[in-house]
């Protein structure tokens, strides 16, 4: 697709005596941004729908992922995701909703940031609980072999909440037995839910407005500049 577009733009450039080059660059940028937005959206959607081939194809072979329960190679992330999906019950649901995408390009490298709200319905100790987590995804995307894929995905966590589906059926003891102090304030309910299924926060967990977020952003800016 990109090659055909370039040929058409080249012919257009010749037709208008070279004045179309700025438009050609703009169109190429638009195409690149569209493909970047497509691949990061596919990575979220495919994990929720257990489309493992599409999820793997969304990342470069050396891709890395940092989320609330994993920080490391994408292949390990996918294998752990498969096990988590297999362990879910018939009334357990998960959906990542993303919006407000912003892409910054520099040649074959780009950074795309966007808001993500994770909606999770889980059956916890026999009770239906809805969890909602707000985060900002910070993806470093690279074009290799004429295809954009994710190189590094970093989830930056902002806040969360927990709502019982039917508050009247849950006894006070359910809340009294919750030990939240051991988890980060931003996403205590989120981490508590994960811990119930054996998923602990990684050392690389990124919280909004933390030193870790600052480090991640500074490193990504150097990478985007060609470092």
The domain spans of the chain are 2-224
User: Sorting pLDDT into bands at 50, 70 and 90, what band is 3?
Assistant: low
pLDDT digits (tens, 9 = 90+) for 20-47: 457 889 999 999 999 999 999 999 999 9
Task: Give residue 14's pLDDT.
Answer: 47
Residue 161, CA distances (Å) to 45, 104, 118, 144, 193 in order: 22, 31, 11, 39, 11
Report the phi/psi class of residue 209: left, alpha or beta, with left for phi > 0 and alpha for psi in -120 to 50: left
pLDDT digits (tens, 9 = 90+) for 85-133: 999 999 999 999 999 999 999 999 999 999 999 999 999 999 999 999 9
Task: Give residue 22's pLDDT.
Answer: 75
CA distance 116 to 101: 10
Task: Give residue 16's pLDDT.
Answer: 45
Q: Which of 14-18, 74-78, 161-165 has the lowest mean pLDDT?
A: 14-18
- Mean pLDDT for 145-169 is 98
* Cα torsion 115, 154, 48, 33: sign: positive
- Considering the domain 2-224 in this protein, what is its CATH number? 3.10.450.50
Integer-rounded Cα Rg, in Å, for the chain is 21
pTM of the prediction? 0.88
Task: Give residue 23's pLDDT.
Answer: 87
Q: Please count the CA atoms within 13 angstroms of the CA of 203 that sit on its side-chain side.
A: 1
Mean pLDDT estimate for the chain: 93
Phi first, then psi: what are they for 12, rounded to 5°?
Answer: -65, -40
CA 191, 151, 218, 66: dihedral to nearest 10 degrees? 10
């Amino acid at each position: 697709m990109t090659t055909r577009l370039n040929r058409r733009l080249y012919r257009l450039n010749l037709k208008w005596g070279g004045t179309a080059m700025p438009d050609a660059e703009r169109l190429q940028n638009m195409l690149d941004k569209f493909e970047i937005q497509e691949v990061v959206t596919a990575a979220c959607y495919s994990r929720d729908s257990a489309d493992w081939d599409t999820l793997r194809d969304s990342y470069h072979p050396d891709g890395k992922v940092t989320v609330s329960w994993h920080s490391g190679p994408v292949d390990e992330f996918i294998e752990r995701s498969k096990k988590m999906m297999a362990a879910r019950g018939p009334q357990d649901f998960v959906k990542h909703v993303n919006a407000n995408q912003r892409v910054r390009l520099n040649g074959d490298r780009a950074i795309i940031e966007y808001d993500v709200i994770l909606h999770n319905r889980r059956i916890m100790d026999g009770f239906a609980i809805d969890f909602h987590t707000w985060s900002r995804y910070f993806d470093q995307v690279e074009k290799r072999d004429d295809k954009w894929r994710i190189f590094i995905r970093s989830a930056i966590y902002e806040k969360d909440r927990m709502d019982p589906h039917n508050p009247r059926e849950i006894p006070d003891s359910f809340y009294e037995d919750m030990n939240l102090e051991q988890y980060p304030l931003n996403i205590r309910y989120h981490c508590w839910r994960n811990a119930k299924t054996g998923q602990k926060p990684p050392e690389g967990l990124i919280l909004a407005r933390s030193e870790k977020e600052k480090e991640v952003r500074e490193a990504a800016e150097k990478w985007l500049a060609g470092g």
